[in-house]
């Protein structure tokens, strides 16, 4: 079956702008999690959505938000972009338990 699809793969934005990233999970998976990966901070959990509800949230400012649609697709939004938001954003898809998830290839966001 198809894997986790993240779009776009690469994105360049200017400080102060906002951006929306998309994640389509594996068919049948109801949980989508988002992670930020940077050289300095490593892999950090942003939030998890399960059946359209945010179930878990990491320690990120309110500029980072997300949502999940009825077909389990998820979007992540970052408003008022800062240079430090430059990162690889990874989406992970799963059935909802703590049993290991399938990751997408990520969206590389560069803020200039």
Partner 1 sequence: AQSVTQLDSQVPVFEEAPVELRCNYSSSVSVYLFWYVQYPNQGLQLLLKYLSGSTLVESINGFEAEFNKSQTSFHLRKPSVHISDTAEYFCAVSVETSGSRLTFGEGTQLTVNP
Helix (H), strand (E), coil (C) string for 61-109: CCCEEEEECCCCCEEEEECCCCHHHCEEEEEEEECCCCCCCEECCCEEE
100 is a contact residue toward partner 1 (CB under 8 A)? yes
Question: What is the Cα–Cα distance from 67 to 54, expressed in whole angstroms?
Answer: 8
104 is a contact residue toward partner 1 (CB under 8 A)? yes
- Count interface residues toward partner 1 (CB under 8 A): 28
55 is a contact residue toward partner 1 (CB under 8 A)? yes
60 is a contact residue toward partner 1 (CB under 8 A)? no
106 is a contact residue toward partner 1 (CB under 8 A)? yes
42 is a contact residue toward partner 1 (CB under 8 A)? yes
Binding site for partner 1 (CB under 8 A): 4, 6, 31, 33, 35, 42-43, 45, 48, 50, 55-56, 58, 90, 92, 94, 96-106, 108
């Amino acid at each position: 079956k198809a894997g986790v699809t993240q779009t776009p793969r690469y994105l360049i934005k200017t400080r102060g702008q906002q951006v929306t990233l998309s994640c389509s999970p594996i068919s049948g998976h109801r949980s989508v999690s988002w992670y930020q990966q940077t050289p300095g901070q490593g892999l950090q959990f942003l939030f998890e959505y399960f059946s359209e509800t945010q179930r878990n949230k990491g320690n990120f400012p309110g500029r980072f938000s997300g949502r999940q649609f009825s077909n389990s697709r998820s979007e992540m939004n970052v408003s008022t972009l800062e240079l430090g938001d430059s990162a690889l954003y990874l989406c992970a898809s799963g059935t909802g338990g703590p049993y290991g998830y399938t990751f997408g290839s990520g969206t590389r966001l560069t803020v200039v």
